[in-house]
A and B are shown apart, each in its own frame.
Chain A
């Protein structure tokens, strides 16, 4: 930073000794990070490790207490996001900053309009630039399409296009794959590689190990606000990264052990369910789960799994068929009725169904048992019992929160999910329905929740596990059924099933597997 001349050998971006303190916590503790031109640099860390804070510092959203930032070897002060953008630093947030009713092109130029005069936007010039950028980097986007009509993956590409339109040389992506399907993820990776080949620098924030290994040139791991290590993908493994990230050895695959299967708990016969548009998306599901076993449902998202689960917990009407729980007909029971019959449920969308974010943690821990003793005494709440039980659950389920009275919205995603898990696992249930129980969580939390599931199974609970993560279904299930267009097209043994076979069944419905289906029906 002594010379004014541009230092060509300097990294595109250097962050030196960045320290950011919040009351009671050091979010960034002397973090060093450098990103070269044409490099995809992954920033890996658990939820709450300080990744987002560091990027907020870079983007001018947070002012560091210590440290400096160098761009092309020259020290700079970043006053705010617009300053950062002017210097070629752009950020693609997890939550897109797009206006759904405007077109792709309008969204792209918004805030960086090319004016033909003082009043009118030069749409022609703008369209030309957008088209040339799109062609150069292989964007498959219709500039006139309304953003609201695009898929999530396409919207993300609009965000990236927005950054490129502003001549971003350093592009920060905050967990870009969290909302994408595997196919979309591959597309975004290809795009990032093209951008890097063009000489742009990319900071890729993630907590998914395999993704980081796949796409990054270099990986910096941070934990509790400090840089723990830096690795090249070729020189490391998922296991090592996980250990760096969490600070202890992590079992990426929890040992499911032997299952001791007992009596049938849930029997579903010919269950028919329709979606919101009255299409019968589950035209007849038949399966059985016995005590002490985990039945995994594999399937590409949107093959009726959501509707099936909602019907099983009473949130969606059954059009036909029969559901039996421990020999008792529970078809069409209300959520409360099923809850009392011994069904526990961890919803896939924890913010919509699982939690009331505006409530404190202790209220969320009793959301499905608030009306029962000891939490209720007659018509009254028994707050001392509620708090006492909350303290015990926070301890037992390792929920990282300053206290039970904190609003649930302030917890990290992993800890929010532990609140749901604690609530549903800690009561007497015969059947646990788990819908994507580890979605969006970091490896430490995933390991913890997987252990809890195994423990529950070993205690004799029947578990239905629905997950879009095929690996999770493969690793956890004693038996696997593949769901395709609302039907159970195959059943496999969880310990011997081949991932390729299951993937093929998920994609095609597996005509070849028809015989297997007969075998267990």
Chain B
């Protein structure tokens, strides 16, 4: 292979590269430029939208928890969680609201308890025939200490008067008076109670 052959290859390359773009080439470039300028003209809209969303999220995360802790400015129930949830959804990178909530002090708890409605009391029920139920259970205990099964299919039939325990259980609701915590120094119990001092205790022992 000589230089002549290399020249042939280079000539072939020249021939292969003697291609021209289609007549629509320039139109394609212009179309791209139009699309690009349209996209560029839209950036202020996106920027303003993003900024507004960021401000709203910041407001929701920083100011709403503070308002919740003030009795007079408390929003209706259910509103704050929705707003905080929306803010969290729109800006996941911002720290959760729990981190921005100030620490609860006894004064704050007291104020909140005074302003918010009392929660519904839980209904407590107790067995009123506990003695009877225990007797029945004791009657089922075998000498080995195991409890005889009565509801299992194929097992021996229950003894007379040996009805299922659960259906015989009688329960009744128990009302518990709400516990009221009075703050110290405001008519609470402790300041009015007599104080027992060490020397009085020692005197009692001596007697």
A, B bound:
no
